[in-house]
Amino acid sequence: MFQPVDTKDPAAVQLEVQRTYLGMFPRGDRFFVPRAFGWVIDCFTGKHRDYQAIDALYHDFEHTLQGTLCMARLLAGRHRAHARPVLSRRVFELGLLAILLHDTGYLKRRDDRSGTGAKYTLTHVARSTEFAEELLAEKGYCWEDIHGVQHMIRCTGVNVDLAAIPFQSKMERIVGYALGTADLLGQMAAADYVNRLPILYSEFVEAAEFSEGKMPPGGG
């Protein structure tokens, strides 16, 4: 059985993911997990130069941490089962980046003053892939790796045609599917999931109003 981890505490989730990563890859980069978490914590807490702190009430940073913890454990279980193809350290790292960045599409730009980031529900997957491309390019990632992260993020779309995603390898596809699974399972496993459903519904309402032009587009 897994030990409980407080997903409201980024440091606790980071520690568990670090333990999982190094357990799977003892020769892995001990600075990778803290570095990746640091980048994303900055993004969600308003330290990114172009974006405000997350203000969506359901798709908050804890939601991302729930999915991240779930995905790490799913992949660790697959690794322990000696499943084929073998998960490489590099693809695991890209998968971790993808789950950490998968909801950055809910972040609002600095000049966006209307509503909350929930208004971007219908476009947040595309916005997340664009955000990931910008951030990872700045961090020196090659285009092949960036595209891999984007393909995995696209697996979280509710209406996505998975067959249309041009995965670069079978393992990239498997990790993308694990990401899509963890995105749902991580939140549904939370003790307060049912109690938070009205908040999720309110996000859908805001997104519908925004898409129908019932609120300003953002700037000003």
Q: What is the pLDDT along the chain (220 residues), one digit of tens a residue?
A: 688 999 999 999 999 999 999 999 999 999 999 999 999 999 999 999 999 999 999 999 999 999 999 999 999 999 999 999 999 999 999 999 999 999 999 999 999 999 999 999 999 999 999 999 999 999 999 999 999 999 999 999 999 999 999 999 999 999 999 999 999 999 999 999 999 999 999 999 999 999 887 655 554 3
Report in angstroms the alpha-carbon separations of 17 from 94, 156, 171. 14, 20, 20
- For 180-207, letters b (16+ CB in 10 Å) and e give bbbbebbbeeeeeeeeeeeebeebeebb
**Which two three-digit tokens encode residue 207?**
């997104």
**Which two three-digit tokens encode residue 206?**
């805001």
Q: Which domains does the chain have, with CATH numbers?
A: 10-206 (1.10.3210)
pLDDT at 143: 98
Report in angstroms the alpha-carbon separations of 67 from 59, 180, 183, 210. 11, 9, 5, 26
**Which two three-digit tokens encode residue 202?**
């309110």
Scanning the chain, the segments in alpha helix (DSSP H) are 10-24, 32-44, 61-80, 89-101, 124-138, 143-154, 170-188, 193-211
Global pTM reads: 0.95
